[in-house]
Amino acid sequence: MTLLAKALGTALALAATLAACGAAATLALGSNGLAAGNTSVTSCGPSSLTATRTVDNSGNVTQLSTSALPATCAGATVSVTLVGSGGAALGSASGPVPAGGGVLTFSSFGGTVSAASVASYSFAVVGP
């Protein structure tokens, strides 16, 4: 009985391994798109984003404008996080990319953010 259980367990493990390898074989490697099966996902274009901030007389960030976003990103949502030292999130905002692309401006970060505390910006583009 033990020999039968070991043989059956080995056969099941081998079948699971082969099924996983077969599924992984359909994924495209070395491209900008991600593909599985017959569906392909591509990037809307921005490989990097930059921002310009506006600071009021009290030294607080009042506005943040992104660099020009490509028209292929229209309908996507851009999120930005103002990051302080140690990677701490100081404030964040998000908004849709307008039809035709272009510059996206944020003016509310969930509270007052001191410009002196901002070390960097973190962007995410989701969609369309």
Residues 57 and 27 in one domain: no
Residues 10 and 61 in one domain: no
Residue 57 lies inside a defined structural domain of this protein? yes
Per-residue pLDDT tens listing for the chain (128 residues): 576 666 656 656 655 566 555 555 555 555 555 555 555 555 676 666 778 889 999 999 999 988 778 888 888 888 888 899 888 999 999 998 888 888 888 988 888 888 899 988 888 888 76
- What are residue 36's phi and psi, to 5 degrees? -145, 125
How far is 25 from 19, CA to CA, in rounded Å?
Answer: 10
Task: Name every residue whose Cβ is closer than 8 Å to that of residue 19 and which is 6 or more positions away in sequence.
Answer: none
Q: Dmax of the chain from CA atoms?
A: 82
Residue 91 lies inside a defined structural domain of this protein? yes
Question: What are 36's strand-pairing partners?
Answer: 39
> pTM for this structure?
0.61
Residues 107 and 55 in one domain: yes
| Range of the structural domain that residue 98 is part of | 51-126
Residue 46 lies inside a defined structural domain of this protein? no
Any idea what DSSP says for residue 93? E
